Chains A and B, each alone.
Chain A
Amino acid sequence: MTTTLAPARTAPPAPPPAGRPFRRIGERLAPYAYIAPFFVIFAVFGLFPLLFTFYVALFDWNPIGDHTFIGMDNFTRMLEDPRFWNAAGNTVSIWFLSTVPQLALALLLAHVLNHARLRFALFFRMSVLVPYITSVAATTIVFAQLFDRDYGLLNWLLGLVGVEAVDFTQSTWGSHVLIATMVLWRWFGYTTLLYLASLQAIPRDVFEAAAIDGASGWKQFRHITIPSLRPVIIFTVVTSTIGGLQIFTEPLLLSRSAPLTCGPIRQCQTLTLFLYEQGFGQFQFGYGSAIGVALFVLVVVVALINYLLSTRIRAER
């Protein structure tokens, strides 16, 4: 085959057109020009703000007043600030409550949606994505109404079976569950589709062979679905962790009496909301930036763990 179709190896390539250096330089530079828009925009809106945040974090910085260099004072203050540790704890708690059920649910759902005998599969596969395209603000407002203490649908249902009304926004665990539910509702469809995509890469004969060998649905799930999804599960754990560390809109819109703290005792104030409160509520941009740096470090640590895990998985294969 190669002998007939491939051109003779010995034929010399056409000589480069001599005396036209501009065109050659242009050809070399063109690819860079094509990718430049991304990097320029990234530099302006991504890299520069990032570096500038590190700079501002070293100052006592009032946006419309004085900027005083104070070195690491913002960081030492942050480490001693109970509000920072409270926000960090809330962030981790809400992340855990939203991520674990979300991934489990998505896994199950993906398995079901991948089933060969499922009717209207496309309809179901598309409809799980509807929450994802709904505005976060709209989601939050509707959920806050559903979970309202006196007039919410959920407490009305609880009341029908004789359970006393639960005030979700005022207690720590209640507000965390409420926010986690919103996050879960919004993201599980997206995660489901990721799982579904990689499930469909598994040849259907593997499942059929297992079924012929007498493996039940659960056994197929346990021994085929989960192992073959391992890389994408790791990926979704990491991405939802990074997302979970940055939950902002839901807690901001939850409490009307104290929006910037998500309630009177900061019961659901996340790190990003604490950053926002300090920066834009208190005009302490330096302190806000220091919190931003702490958040950055956290995300980098998570990304590192991701890298280590995924290289190990690749090595195992």
Chain B
Amino acid sequence: MKLRTAVPVALAAALVLATGCSPGSGGDAVSAGDGKSFEFWSFTGINQKASVDDYKAKHPDIEVKLTEVGSSVETAQSLTTALAGGKVPDLVLIQGDDLPKFVQQSQNFVDLRTLGADGIKGDYLDWVMSQSTAAGGEILGIPTDVGGMAVAYRTDLFAAAGLPTDREAVGALWPTWDEFIETGKKYKAATGKAFVDNAATSVFHQSVNQGPQKYYDDKGGVVYGSSPQVKTAFDQALKAVDAGITAKQSSFSNGWSAGMAQGQFAAIAAPSWMLNQIRSNAPDTKGKWDIAVIPGESGNWGGSYLAIPKRAKNAKAAWDYIKETQSPQGQLEHFVDSGSLPTTPSVYEDPALAGHKDPFFSDAPTGKIYTASLLGLKPFVIGPDSSTIGQEFLNAITNVEQGGGDPAKAWDEALKNIKTAIGK
């Protein structure tokens, strides 16, 4: 029984540790330290060690203490605890989904403009920069990479269904989401099998990001219920469910991984980092995949930012690291090493990137395809409750798709749940 009580006690203890002291203590002045060493928290699976080792090789006099805290969510939680009253790192990597909560409490971070971020902010995609810029204009993070967006599809399954297999021709099948769903119907009619993994992440989550306004208007007011892009994306997802073209496999679930290996679905919305997931989930399908443009042509899913906590002791050394490794050239080198997509459009034409081909995906020019999907995106306002709102919409769609929920009531249910969750 001791073990059973241990969980809530641990939760309570974590709650206390995280609430122990008041945040933002300490003055506004950035602490420079000796400029020779800094502590860096990253998360697993993104191979920051390679960048750090490179940096150390170029600067033998600088000591970088890299800690891979855990998954991206665990890293954000540890950061929260640290900001609330513990020892903070000098540099921290934050995943895009976790970022808004920190941007809302911008007093916890160094405004990078004080270190010279104004001079380099033009190097990065404007909509990516806007997500790490607080309401008062403070720049809190420099983007390290983005996901981009495309559709990965199985050429063998497409051929069996009588669909074209060439990536240009496949992209031409679906300039819009409606045509994507029509293609799915054709595939289903020919094979009797599902076309795409699920409606929530592969349709709604992509389509909703393709407009100039999402859940908040330009003044920061919540407009999730009246924003046309949101309703359109929601209806498109329900239409895909209704057409029966989804395999009802939630992303990253066990069934999803197994379905990918077994060819349960032929297409999947795939940001650049998803390619590694496909590679590891379905190693036997090597060469049977290709990559085509996403309906609506643009999209992004994922990406991370480097930030410096306000109480960091060695902010200067951390900033030097950011400036060098996240320069357009630095990001290009990281792409060549690890495949992370740069956030700096100036290198998108570089042969090292544009000429990159992936043999697992029928030699698709991944660098070219993914960077092209980033250029059409527009900045939209991300608010404190954006991720909660998005999750409720995704839940409503998943419930219709997999839980037998009534599609006619799904929209109203989602709005009601959002209102319960965020109070407005």
* Residues on A facing B (Cβ under 8 Å): 45-46, 48-50, 52-53, 56, 61-65, 67, 81-83, 144-145, 148-151, 167, 170-171, 239, 242-243, 246, 248-249, 255-258, 261, 263-265, 267, 272, 275-276, 279-280, 282-283, 285, 288-289, 292, 295
Q: Are B403 and A249 in contact (CB under 8 A)?
A: no
Q: Are B11 and A62 in contact (CB under 8 A)?
A: no
Selected contact of B403 from candidates A48, A61, A83, A171, CB within 8 Å:
A171
Q: Are A64 and B254 in contact (CB under 8 A)?
A: no
Q: Are A242 and B5 in contact (CB under 8 A)?
A: yes
Q: Are A279 and B15 in contact (CB under 8 A)?
A: yes
Q: Are B395 and A265 in contact (CB under 8 A)?
A: yes
The chain A residue with its CB closest to the CB of B403 is: A170
Known: A64-B83, A243-B1, A261-B395. A249 touches B19 (CB 8 A): no
Q: Which of B2-32 contact A (CB under 8 A)?
A: 4-5, 7-9, 11-16, 18-19, 22-23
The chain A residue with its CB closest to the CB of B22 is: A67
The chain A residue with its CB closest to the CB of B397 is: A264
Q: List 22 A-B contacts (CB under 8 A).
A: A49-B16, A63-B18, A64-B80, A64-B102, A65-B107, A83-B420, A144-B254, A151-B255, A170-B403, A242-B4, A242-B5, A243-B4, A256-B254, A257-B200, A257-B253, A257-B394, A257-B395, A261-B395, A264-B396, A265-B395, A280-B80, A289-B15
Q: Bound complex: CA of A289 vs CA of B73, how far in Å? A: 21
* Interface 1/0 per residue, B99-113 and A, CB below 8 Å: 001101101100000
Q: Bound complex: CA of A45 vs CA of B13, how far in Å? A: 6
Q: Are A170 and B19 in contact (CB under 8 A)?
A: no
* Interface 1/0 per residue, B79-108 and A, CB below 8 Å: 011011000000000000000011011011
* Interface 1/0 per residue, B214-250 and A, CB below 8 Å: 0000000000000000000000000000000000111
Q: Bound complex: CA of A232 vs CA of B289, how far in Å? A: 61
Kindly state the interface size class of chain B when it binds its partner: 35 or more
Q: Are B77 and A151 in contact (CB under 8 A)?
A: no
Q: Are B5 and A246 in contact (CB under 8 A)?
A: yes
Q: Which of B253-271 contact A (CB under 8 A)?
A: 253-256, 258-259, 262, 264
Q: Bound complex: CA of A53 vs CA of B396, how far in Å? A: 33
B142 nearest CB across to chain A (Å): 20
> What are the residues of chain B within 8 A of A295 when measuring CB–CB?
8
The chain B residue with its CB closest to the CB of A82 is: B420
A305 nearest CB across to chain B (Å): 16
Q: Are A48 and B254 in contact (CB under 8 A)?
A: no
The chain B residue with its CB closest to the CB of A282 is: B388
Q: Bound complex: CA of A280 vs CA of B249, how far in Å? A: 27
Q: Are A48 and B255 in contact (CB under 8 A)?
A: no
- Determine the main DSSP class of B at the interface with A: helix
**B338 at the binding interface (Cβ < 8 Å):** no
Q: Bound complex: CA of A246 vs CA of B107, how far in Å? A: 36
Q: Are B420 and A62 in contact (CB under 8 A)?
A: no
> What are the residues of chain B within 8 A of A149 when measuring CB–CB?
248, 255
**B37 at the binding interface (Cβ < 8 Å):** no
The chain A residue with its CB closest to the CB of B396 is: A264
> What are the residues of chain B within 8 A of A49 when measuring CB–CB?
9, 12-13, 15-16
Selected contact of B8 from candidates A56, A248, A258, A265, CB within 8 Å:
A248
Q: Are A167 and B12 in contact (CB under 8 A)?
A: no
Q: Are A288 and B15 in contact (CB under 8 A)?
A: yes
Q: Are B23 and A272 in contact (CB under 8 A)?
A: no
Q: Are A258 and B19 in contact (CB under 8 A)?
A: no
A269 nearest CB across to chain B (Å): 11
Q: Are B7 and A246 in contact (CB under 8 A)?
A: yes
The chain A residue with its CB closest to the CB of B83 is: A64
Q: Bound complex: CA of A239 vs CA of B4, how far in Å? A: 9
Q: Bound complex: CA of A166 vs CA of B8, how far in Å? A: 32
B102 nearest CB across to chain A (Å): 7
> What are the residues of chain B within 8 A of A62 when measuring CB–CB?
105
Selected contact of B9 from candidates A45, A83, A288, CB within 8 Å:
A45
> What are the residues of chain A within 8 A of B264 when measuring CB–CB?
150
> What are the residues of chain B within 8 A of A243 when measuring CB–CB?
1, 4-5
Q: Are A249 and B7 in contact (CB under 8 A)?
A: yes
**B191 at the binding interface (Cβ < 8 Å):** no
> What are the residues of chain A within 8 A of B114 when measuring CB–CB?
none
* Interface 1/0 per residue, B370-405 and A, CB below 8 Å: 000000000000000000100100111011001111
Q: Are B105 and A151 in contact (CB under 8 A)?
A: no
**Besides the contacts A265-B405, A272-B8, A295-B8, what 8 more A-B pairs have beta carbons closer than 8 Å?**
A48-B16, A148-B254, A150-B258, A167-B402, A256-B251, A264-B403, A283-B101, A285-B18
Q: Among the interface residues B8, B388, B399, which one has the most CB atoms of the partner chain A within 10 A?
A: B8
A47 nearest CB across to chain B (Å): 11
Q: Among the interface residues B5, B23, B258, B403, which one has the most CB atoms of the partner chain A within 10 A?
A: B403
> What are the residues of chain A within 8 A of B4 when measuring CB–CB?
239, 242-243, 246
Q: Bound complex: CA of A148 vs CA of B251, how far in Å? A: 14
Q: Are A248 and B80 in contact (CB under 8 A)?
A: no
Q: Among the interface residues A67, A83, A170, A249, which one has the most CB atoms of the partner chain B within 10 A?
A: A170
> What are the residues of chain A within 8 A of B81 when measuring CB–CB?
63
Known: A257-B200, A257-B394. A151 touches B7 (CB 8 A): no
Q: Which of B60-84 contact A (CB under 8 A)?
A: 77, 80-81, 83-84
> What are the residues of chain A within 8 A of B258 when measuring CB–CB?
148, 150-151
Known: A49-B15, A243-B1, A246-B5. A145 touches B398 (CB 8 A): no
Q: Bound complex: CA of A33 vs CA of B421, how far in Å? A: 49
A260 nearest CB across to chain B (Å): 8
Q: Are B399 and A65 in contact (CB under 8 A)?
A: no
Q: Bound complex: CA of A243 vs CA of B5, how far in Å? A: 7
Selected contact of B399 from candidates A61, A242, A264, CB within 8 Å:
A264
> What are the residues of chain B within 8 A of A170 when measuring CB–CB?
402-404
Known: A242-B4, A265-B399. A276 touches B11 (CB 8 A): yes
Q: Bound complex: CA of A150 vs CA of B260, how far in Å? A: 12
Q: Bound complex: CA of A258 vs CA of B390, how far in Å? A: 11
Q: Are A56 and B254 in contact (CB under 8 A)?
A: no
